[in-house]
Structure 1
Amino acid sequence: MFFFLQIVLTGLLKNKGEILPLQSDFKKFPIMLGLLIGGFIGMFSETALNIALTSLMKDLHITASTVQWLTTGYLLVVGVLVPVSGLMIRWFTTRQLLLSALSAFIIGTLISAVSHTFTFLLIGRLVQGIATGILIPLIFNTVMAIFPPHKRGAALGVVGLVIMFAPAIGPTAAGFILGKLTWQWIFWVMLPFLVAALIISAIFCKNVNEVTRPKIDVLSIVLSTVGFGGIVFGFSSAGDAGWGNAKVIAALAIGVAALAIFSIRQLRMEKPMLNVRAFQHKMFTIGTLMIMIVFSIIMSSMLLLPMYWQSGKLVAVALTGILLLPGGIVNGIVSAVSGKLYDLYGAKWLVRIGFLICIAAGAMFICVQTTSSFLFVIAANLLLMVGAPLVMSPAQTNGLNALPKEMSPDGSAIMNTAQQVSGAIATALSATLLAAGEHAYTGAGGQSAAAALTNGVQYGFMFTLILAVIGFALSFTVQTVGVLEKPRDQQRKMQLKKETDSPC
């Protein structure tokens, strides 16, 4: 896959202008706009189809175990490609990567939109996954390159709007679409945004990364692909096949073994493909763990909550989208604000408060019943959508700030790989717990399908609550990295020092 991308990228538009000086005063917004639009649609795609799976099963005449591969395959490709992104950023210019990714996304979305068979729809989803696997790490690397440390919190807050708001709003937007149109329109709606992102990027995107073209270690690429791919495949298959299935056990065992060999190899290489020595920086490791936890919370809730509304409360698909909308809006607002709060106050208290709010939301969710009021469930979702983004951006910024500049591509690749893998694992575990809760209800003599589903949702949100508690405990190890003062404050101090030192 990597060598295919190399051939495609090399043939695209050549470098437009020189590499910009890092953190200079050029206009940053136009550079980031195409990246953010593409990244938003990529993360939106991860959850938008969740609410359409029932319609897809009917229209394409496929089973639940087959339809889930539209999500699993997407996550699988992203999980495999993201670890290679650190190497790709060193081999190709920012423009080449961005224009290639957006072009691939448009092609994949167009294939999905015109598909009338499962095979073609799956191919479209896999091509979309390739694009997302390039875009998400590229966003973080670009932010770290063009923004100075005292502005990265606000910048990564906007990125958090992409990472957190997009999957949160996915089911809502898809619900509105399915209320009036077919599932193909979920993809048709994406296309204008992707075309706009491609045009904006072709006009405004500058090269911010230094192309060093390090030696390609084919064995590292193979080990990375097998390792991350095996783990994502194993966890994603476990929901349907069962954890005792030989295929699941083999995939997980091979994935873990390949990752272990990959990590050892990277430590022994003079110029590793992915510098896992980043984990020697404590705050980076803690930030990565927090991102895994909070993204798992989001992905599990985006699987469970639409199912609860539709099958537990028997709400129509269009109304489900409306009921999920307040949480999505609040998520976007808090995502945008949390980065600025990090610049002012640091990470320590923000992540503690965020996880504490997630604990409260999880406790409310495990109490839901078929008779629970709409207001109660919406309030629980609002709390979750306040707490999760309050953790995400500060944890990302603090973790990446802990790394030296030359490790930034590796750090963003590691964080995004961990995020995608944890999202796939959380989705699989939530689906397993959902099924366990349903079986427990029916095994005890229950007859109501809605009550069985609700009991399964309670089991699933127990997992969310446990994750929030673990995250809260971990938050007490956080220390803010870097100086929170702005340059203006520093200049004022220097001026006062000069006046004090002056002999007059």
Structure 2
Amino acid sequence: MEQQAAMAASKPRVIVKHPALAMASMLIGAFVGMFSETSLNIALPSLMVSLGVNTATVQWLVTGYMLVIGVVLPLNSLMTKWFTTRQVVIFGLLDFLVGAVIAALAPTFSVLLFGRMIQGIATGLILPLMFTVAMQVFSPAKLGAAMGACAMVIMFAPAIGPTLTGLILAKLSWRWLFWAFVPFLVAALIFALTSLENVGKLSKPKIDIISILSSVVGFASIVTAVSFASSHGWGSPLVLGLLLLGVIVLAVYTYRQVHIKTPILNLKIFATPAFRAGALMVMLDFGIILSAMYILPMYMQKGLLLPVAMTGIIMLPGGIVNALVSAVSGRLFDHFGAKWLTRLGFFIAIIGSIMLLMTSTHTAVIFVIAAHVVLMIGCPLAMSPAQTHALNALAGPTAGDGSTIMNTMQQIVGAISTALATSLLGIGEAASHASAQGAFTAGVHVAVYLPLVLAVAALIITFTTRSFKTER
């Protein structure tokens, strides 16, 4: 029996010639997608001046992108049952190329936003496929390391994005932020055409139009409502109406997914305790990262009055630490499981958030770097173990559903947390009677309470979940 178990652990679910090369196109595509998700954060103050828009409007370049990802992601499972892995990935990469060119040539804010949202379609297709394919082509014995590599892509791109953006903007126009994607996407296309093999079988199930429409309307309504709250206020009839619509439609969507024979998303897997706990931790972790990475570059430029190039350099140490911890955390999971890694990770993230609350208009740069580094130790330390813990609880086709669900909710939580951070930033800024610099810093302090609350909530989950008891 032990010999059979060892043999099973040494074999992947799907045999491909070169697993690493098969993953290359998706890893590059996911990196570019996640880089694009946060690369504009550091450029938002410049874009506000260049395009003549305010904070509430310019944040749509972030939330609009994540909104499209969140709308497309629930459809990913259906797409992979109608189209091959190669077809979906190649279409996604070509779609991203088109969006990048449109954004780079955009004459107005509206066209720029349109290009960004086209890019969101590609990220929504490629991101969950990366995890699904990794689960299939790597053996269980190597799965922790493989998932760690995937997590490193997701965690490293948002962390390094501000640094590269700052360096680009120091010498070039913001348009080069989009032209820079092109060579990476071309390389990913070459890997997809030469090395990517099909994973999974095409069943071509019946398309449920009601589920698709309710998914799109529900998620879009909630994200749009939270985004509008920063400019219209939380008591606005428009905001409250959209929130109510989103909740009602998503309730219908959830009920339908649980009761129809071929759901777009198999929400029944939330009945698995390990998946439920791991997925919640991943969502909260992503919300911490996105909200903090949205707030921090703007604080440096408007609170500390640092130039954009300097802001990018200050973000670099945290980005490097993020990549290193992401790479190590997957291997640590193979030896220690998720319980202590997630607890330690979220505790460290709480410390990083508290450090950001201690900043002012005169805070030393070294303290800001230290706060960012601490945050970038905690978040990736928890991310990969939580994700692997969740997906390991699923078997067969449900692993694909689990990956799609987690990635969908990550983007929805990311879009909502960014919009909430914008709203809290505005509330804190309006309540302050200090100078423009001091008022903005006061707004930052109010906004930082969001990642702090998310980190505390995630830490509580690590101590209350019973699924850790089943770990080896």
In which range does the TM-score fall when normalised by the shorter chain? over 0.9
Q: What does residue range 199-238 of structure 1 map to in structure 2 within 5 Å?
A: 199-238=190-229
Deviation at 1:481, TM superposition (A): 8.7
Report the number of matched residues: 461
Q: What does residue range 343-492 of structure 1 map to in structure 2 within 5 Å?
A: 343-442=334-433, 446=434, 448-476=435-463, 477=465, 479-480=467-468
**1:86-142 deviation digits (Å, cap 9, x = unpaired):** 111111110000000001001111111122222321221111011011011111111
Q: Could you tell me whether the CA contact under 8 Å between 2:273 and 2:466 is conserved in 1?
A: no
Deviation at 1:217, TM superposition (A): 0.7
1:149 counterpart (137, 140, 156): 140
1:329 and 2:316 are equivalent in the alignment: no
* AA at the equivalent of 1:472: L
* AA at the equivalent of 2:312: G
The percentage of aligned residue pairs carrying the same residue is: 50
* AA at the equivalent of 1:474: I
Q: Could you tell me whether the CA contact under 8 Å between 1:347 and 1:479 is conserved in 2?
A: no
Aligned mates of 1:305, 1:118 — CA distance in 2: 23
Query: What does residue 47 of structure 2 align with?
Result: 56
SS of 1:405's equivalent in the other structure is coil
**CA 1:58–1:372: 2 relative to 1, 3 Å:** closer
* AA at the equivalent of 1:468: A
1:196 counterpart (187, 194, 204): 187
Aligned mates of 1:230, 1:405 — CA distance in 2: 33
Q: Could you tell me whether the CA contact under 8 Å between 1:402 and 1:481 is conserved in 2?
A: no
Query: What does residue 110 of structure 2 align with?
Result: 119
Deviation at 1:54, TM superposition (A): 2.5
Aligned mates of 2:195, 2:350 — CA distance in 1: 43
Q: Could you tell me whether the CA contact under 8 Å between 2:29 and 2:93 is conserved in 1?
A: yes
**CA 1:21–1:391: 2 relative to 1, 3 Å:** closer
Q: Could you tell me whether the CA contact under 8 Å between 1:79 and 1:232 is conserved in 2?
A: no
**1:171-192 deviation digits (Å, cap 9, x = unpaired):** 2111111111100000011110
Deviation at 1:24, TM superposition (A): 2.8
Q: Could you tell me whether the CA contact under 8 Å between 1:109 and 1:187 is conserved in 2?
A: yes
TM-score, reference length from structure 1: 0.89
**CA 1:328–1:387: 2 relative to 1, 3 Å:** same
Aligned mates of 1:265, 1:479 — CA distance in 2: 27
Aligned mates of 1:450, 1:21 — CA distance in 2: 56
1:93 counterpart (84, 96, 102): 84
Q: Could you tell me whether the CA contact under 8 Å between 2:14 and 2:199 is conserved in 1?
A: no
Query: What does residue 6 of structure 2 align with?
Result: none
1:291 counterpart (282, 288, 300): 282
Runs (4+) off by over 4 Å: 480-484
SS of 1:207's equivalent in the other structure is coil
Q: Could you tell me whether the CA contact under 8 Å between 1:172 and 1:322 is conserved in 2?
A: yes
1:260 and 2:251 are equivalent in the alignment: yes
Q: Could you tell me whether the CA contact under 8 Å between 1:347 and 1:478 is conserved in 2?
A: no
